[in-house]
Amino acid sequence: MSAATDALETVFDELTQLSQEEQEHFAHLVRRKLEAEKAWERAFADPRSPEALSAMAREARREREAGKTQPLDDLLEEKD
């Protein structure tokens, strides 16, 4: 087996120890993550991607200027 398969099996084993509600919550999170990954793949495959990325960058700058953002380091520290 590959390391990735082993890692998935380990996580799956741990998840089966959780309550039904917690399992459903994690399943929902994984589904959302997979859907987001597929959306990014489609976006980058689209020939209009450079324009879309420029628009997203403009939006991010506006949000930063409006004080609606948080430094990445702060977000990463919260997870530790």
Distance, C-alpha 2 to centroid of its chain: 23
Determine the residue type at 42: R
**Tokens representing 11?**
């996580």
Q: What is the pLDDT of residue 80?
A: 57
Q: What is the pLDDT of residue 79?
A: 63
Rg (CA), the chain: 18
Q: What is the DSSP string of 60-73?
A: HHHHHHTT----HH
Higher pLDDT, 26 or 2: 26
Give the tens place of pLDDT for each residue, 46-75: 887 888 889 999 999 999 999 999 998 888
Tell me how far apart the alpha carbons of residues 24 and 68 are, in angstroms, rounded to a whole number. 31
Higher pLDDT, 16 or 43: 16
